[in-house]
């Protein structure tokens, strides 16, 4: 044993010898980097969105695009204000997200949330965000998977930002389209999944108004949706068409959210 070398090594280096840290991407040692979770080689495999991406929905605009937003956002602006993503759903992100989701490697939420947080704070309107809501899973999927990957990521982002995580503000509801023209089998085959926010039941509002002002106010506040009058960051693992995120945004805005930003780890 080279005692001199051991004695001159810094405390962090000693810490690494006692508790070796390994890259969560490839398993290599992390002694040479100040990063906590991923080695430089793995980080280099993140496919950035690039300069030419839609500032609203983060979709790729293609090289040398001269338009200010993608054709679908120009046609009909989404209800969320802007979507932020770490990179394309490719390379490293296409390995880590499925490992978190299907391989049940919950610890992968740490580096993914760290990357998302680093991307988020670069957005000029980031300081306005004052609450975080994860995109909910259907109850069935939640039960079979045992966890919600979006929630794991949102939890870590919330910890880093210090913003409140409104874990149960929203849930999925299964709603059959009301068209009577559809046959029964068609209706059963194509249920539209929608989101719903916990909110003050409409029927209760008149009853609250009859109570003494202070009590009614207090009760109303208690029963009201926690997203009311907040600028919400809606967190998901992968943003694909954005349909789910638009539906979740609709529910948040309906429950009184001021504005909704989307934060996804990857943009497909």
Q: Does 26 bind Zn ion (CB under 5 A)?
A: yes
Instruction: Report the candidate in 154, 84, 77 with the shortest Cα–Cα distance to residue 126.
Output: 84
Min. distance of Cβ 25 from Zn ion in angstroms? 4
Q: Does 23 bind Zn ion (CB under 5 A)?
A: yes
Q: Does 266 bind Zn ion (CB under 5 A)?
A: no
Indicate the residue among 54 and 115 with the shorter CB distance to Zn ion. 54
DSSP codes, the chain: --HHHHHHS-HHHHHHHHS--B-TTT--B-TT-S-SS--HHHHTT-----SSB-TTT--B--TT---SS-HHHHHS--SSSEEEEEEESSHHHHHHHHHHHTS--GGGHHHHHHHHHHHHTTSTTGGG--EEEEPPPPHHHHHHHSS-HHHHHHHHHHHHHT--B-TTSEEEEEE----TTS-HHHHHH-PEEEEEE----GGGHHHHHHS-HHHHHHHHHHHS-TTTT-EEEEEEEEESSSHHHHHHHHHHHHTT-SEEEEEEEEE-
Min. distance of Cβ 260 from Zn ion in angstroms? 15
Min. distance of Cβ 202 from Zn ion in angstroms? 34
Q: Does 137 bind Zn ion (CB under 5 A)?
A: no
* Identified binder of Zn ion from the candidate list 30, 37, 39, 255, rule CB under 5 A: 39
Q: Does 215 bind Zn ion (CB under 5 A)?
A: no
* Identified binder of Zn ion from the candidate list 30, 46, 54, 166, rule CB under 5 A: 54
Q: Does 73 bind Zn ion (CB under 5 A)?
A: yes
* Identified binder of Zn ion from the candidate list 56, 115, 245, 260, rule CB under 5 A: 56
* Identified binder of Zn ion from the candidate list 30, 46, 57, 132, rule CB under 5 A: 57
Q: Does 52 bind Zn ion (CB under 5 A)?
A: no
Q: Does 100 bind Zn ion (CB under 5 A)?
A: no
Q: Of the listed pieces 71-79, 82-90, 103-111, 210-218, which binds Zn ion according to CB under 5 A?
A: 71-79
Q: Does 25 bind Zn ion (CB under 5 A)?
A: yes
Q: How far apart are the first and last CA of the chain?
A: 51
Q: Does 59 bind Zn ion (CB under 5 A)?
A: yes
Residues forming the site for Zn ion (CB under 5 A): 23, 25-26, 39, 42, 54, 56-57, 59, 70, 73
């Amino acid at each position: 044993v080279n005692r001199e070398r051991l004695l001159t090594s810094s405390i962090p280096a000693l810490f690494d010898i006692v508790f070796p840290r390994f890259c969560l991407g490839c398993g290599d040692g992390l002694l040479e980097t100040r990063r906590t979770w991923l080695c430089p080689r793995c980080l280099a495999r993140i496919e950035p969105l690039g300069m030419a991406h839609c500032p609203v929905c983060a979709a790729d605009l293609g090289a040398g695009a001269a338009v200010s937003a993608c054709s679908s956002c120009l046609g009909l602006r989404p209800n969320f204000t802007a979507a932020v993503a770490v990179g394309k759903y490719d390379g490293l992100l296409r390995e880590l997200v499925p490992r978190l989701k299907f391989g049940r490697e919950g610890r992968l939420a740490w580096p993914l949330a760290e990357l998302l947080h680093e991307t988020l704070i670069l957005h000029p309107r980031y300081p306005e965000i004052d609450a975080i809501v994860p995109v909910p899973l259907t109850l069935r999927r939640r039960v079979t998977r045992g966890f919600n990957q979006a929630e794991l990521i949102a939890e870590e982002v919330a910890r880093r930002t210090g913003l409140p995580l409104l874990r149960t503000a929203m849930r999925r509801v299964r709603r059959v389209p009301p068209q009577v023209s559809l046959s029964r089998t068609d209706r059963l085959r194509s249920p539209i999944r929608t989101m719903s926010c916990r909110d003050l039941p409409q029927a209760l509002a008149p009853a609250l108004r009859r109570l003494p002002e202070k009590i009614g106010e207090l009760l109303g506040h208690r029963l009201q949706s926690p997203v009311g009058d907040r600028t919400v960051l809606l967190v998901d693992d992968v943003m694909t068409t954005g349909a789910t995120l638009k539906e979740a945004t609709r529910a948040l805005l309906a429950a009184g959210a001021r504005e909704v930003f989307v934060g996804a780890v990857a943009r497909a």
